[in-house]
């Protein structure tokens, strides 16, 4: 998804004209979330030292996204949501904040679904004790925050399907709020199908109330939030690059049109 605010004649975010990468986090009252996000951005900066990387929150933590964008003035930026599917924040909150800022912005797609996200989920499960060769009675509950938006749930289901293909076992999506099934409901459904080793894959970007709540309902192992896994840093950069390439292709087509 790409949204572009009106352009201006002011300079871009850097002297060389490179648009800034603005990572848009939700925000959390859990202090571990902010420290995790900052550490993830440090990983991104290590991968691409010349790229200006900024942080903006939708709520609860500073810097808030409008303040981050205001500091860019009329410069260019690509806003990459640190969110794992489509929903109200991606569709409305972030584009509205971008449109109200003086910066020239484009909004990237959320991080999921994508194979790099599955890389991180798989790695976190392996760290938690997931076996190299799971037995037929193994299964996974993919726990995420939840949303009333059907496209958000579709994205989570797609991520679950990609993870199931990677692991070779059933993966059932479940939600901490706003959608069903809950984690306990998903566990009961898998148990009724004969699965005895049910792991929980934490589809959260950082520690927080929902991640803790879901992990507590795991009947066996529970993976840690995705956090600073290297695949997450690569995925942020991929969404940034993807947005710039899409925008460039659209401009080329426009110029070629008589």
Q: What angle do CA 213, 216, 218 make, to 5 degrees?
A: 120
Closest CA to 109 of 122, 95, 119: 95
Of 26, 89, 114, 229, the catalytic one is 26
First to last CA, the chain: 26
Task: Report helix, strand or coil for 106.
Answer: strand
Q: Are 210 and 176 in contact (CB under 8 A)?
A: yes
26 catalytic per annotation = yes
Instruction: Tell me the β-bridge partners of 54.
Output: 22
Please calculate the CA angle 171-164-86 and round it to the nearest 5 degrees.
Answer: 75
| Environment class of 154 (CB within 10 Å of its CB; exposed 0-12, middle 13-18, buried 19+) | middle
Helix (H, G, I), strand (E, B) or coil at 183: helix
The H or E element containing residue 188 is helix 183-192
Nearest C-alpha neighbor of 56 from the set 100, 87, 7? 100
- Please state, in angstroms and rounded to a whole number, the distance separating the CA atoms of residues 130 and 168: 12
Which of 53, 109, 97 lies closest to 77 in space, CA to CA? 53
- Active site members: 26
């Amino acid at each position: 998804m790409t949204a572009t605010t009106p352009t201006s004649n002011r300079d871009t975010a850097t002297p060389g004209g490179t648009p800034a990468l603005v990572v848009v986090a939700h925000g959390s009252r859990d202090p571990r979330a902010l420290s995790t996000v900052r550490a993830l951005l440090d990983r991104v900066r290590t991968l691409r030292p010349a790229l200006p990387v900024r942080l903006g929150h939708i709520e609860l933590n500073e810097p808030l996204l409008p303040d981050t964008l205001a500091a860019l003035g009329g410069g260019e930026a690509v806003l990459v949501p640190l969110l794992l599917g489509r929903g109200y924040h991606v569709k409305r909150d972030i584009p509205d904040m971008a449109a109200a800022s003086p910066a020239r912005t484009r909004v990237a797609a959320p991080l999921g679904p994508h194979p790099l996200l599955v890389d991180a989920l798989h790695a976190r499960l392996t760290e938690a004790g997931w076996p190299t060769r799971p037995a037929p009675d193994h299964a996974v509950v993919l726990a995420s925050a939840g949303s009333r938006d059907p496209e958000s749930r579709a994205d989570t289901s797609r991520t679950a399907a990609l993870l199931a293909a990677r692991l070779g076992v059933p993966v059932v999506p479940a939600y901490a709020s706003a959608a069903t099934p809950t984690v306990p409901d998903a566990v009961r459904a898998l148990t009724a199908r004969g699965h005895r080793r049910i792991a929980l894959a934490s589809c959260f970007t950082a520690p927080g109330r929902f991640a803790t709540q879901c992990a507590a309902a795991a009947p066996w192992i529970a993976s840690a939030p995705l956090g600073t896994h290297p695949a997450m840093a690569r995925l942020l950069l991929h969404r940034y690059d993807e947005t710039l390439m899409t925008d460039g292709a659209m401009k080329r087509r426009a110029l070629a049109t008589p």
